[in-house]
Amino acid sequence: MVRNLGVCVASVLVACVALPVVAADTHAKWDSIQKYCTECHNVTDWAGSVAFDAMSVDEIPQDAKIWEAAARKLSAIRAFGRYLRREGAIDGDPAALVGTPKREHRIPNHLAVDEMNKLLEMPDTSQPLGRRDKAILELFYASGLRLSELVGLDVEDLNLSARVVRVLGKGRKERIVPFNQTAGDALRACLRDREALLASNQGQTGVRLGSDHQRRRLKVADPAQARGRGRAREPLFLNYQGGRLSTRSVDKIVRKYVAQCSTRYGISPHALRHSFATHLLEAGADLRAIQELLGHARLSTTQRYTHVNAAQLIDTYRKAHPKA
Task: Specify the CATH number for the domain of residue 31.
Answer: 1.10.150.130
Q: In which domain, by residue range, is 125 found?
A: 113-262
Between 156 and 215, residue with greater pLDDT: 156
pLDDT of residue 320: 83
More confidently predicted of 39 and 91: 91
pLDDT for 39: 65
Q: Examine residue 319 and state whether it is found in any structural domain, yes or no.
A: no
User: In this structure, are 62 and 183 located in the same domain?
Assistant: no
User: Looking at the predicted structure, is the pLDDT value of residue 159 above 70?
Assistant: yes
- Indicate whether 190 and 121 sit together in one domain: yes
pLDDT at position 74 is: 76
Examine the domain organization and report whether 87 and 189 are in the same domain. Answer: no
**Domain assignment of residue 292, yes or no:** no
Residue 177's DSSP bridge partners are 165
Q: Are residues 210 and 136 in the same domain?
A: yes
Does 229 share its domain with 118?
yes
Supply φ then ψ for residue 93, to 5 degrees.
-130, 75
Cα separations (Å) of 34 from 28, 113, 144, 147? 9, 36, 25, 16
Average pLDDT rounded to a whole number, residues 179-186? 96
77 shares its domain with 124: no
The answer to whether position 174 is within a domain reads: yes
User: Do 198 and 64 share a structural domain?
Assistant: no
Reported confidence tier of residue 241, pLDDT bands at 50, 70, 90: confident
My answer on whether 125 and 243 are in the same domain is yes
Residue 149 lies in a domain: yes
Question: For residues 315 and 324, what is the distance between their CA atoms, to the nearest angstrom?
Answer: 10
Shared-domain flag, residues 92 and 143 = no
Domain stops at, among 68, 97, 126:
97
What pLDDT does 317 receive? 80
Examine the domain organization and report whether 141 and 25 are in the same domain: no
Domain boundary at 230, 262, 294, which?
262
Judged on CB neighbours under 10 Å (0-12, 13-18, 19+), 278 is buried
Catalytic residues: 146, 170, 270, 273, 296, 305
pLDDT tens digits for range 64-100: 445 566 777 777 777 777 877 888 887 777 667 777 6
Sheet of strand 158-159, all strands in order from the earlier edge strand to the far edge: 158-159, 164-168, 174-178
Q: How far apart are the first and last CA of the chain?
A: 66
Residue 268 lies inside a defined structural domain of this protein: no
Beta bridge partners of 78: none
Q: Is the separation of the CB atoms in 186 and 138 below 8 Å? A: yes
Q: Which of 213, 243, 262 is the last residue of a domain?
A: 262
State how many domains the chain has: 2
| Helical segments of 112-164, H only | 113-120, 128-143, 147-151
In terms of pTM, does the model score above 0.75? no
Does a structural domain hold residue 310? no
119 belongs to a structural domain: yes
Maximum average pLDDT range among 41-55, 99-113, 127-141: 127-141
- For the cut 90, the answer to whether the pLDDT of residue 250 exceeds it is yes
Mean pLDDT estimate for the chain: 75
Does one domain contain both 187 and 157? yes
Q: Decide which of 253 and 218 is more confident.
A: 253
Looking at the structure, tell me whether residues 163 and 257 fall in a common domain.
yes
CATH code of 195's domain: 1.10.443.10
Quick check: is 28 in a domain?
yes
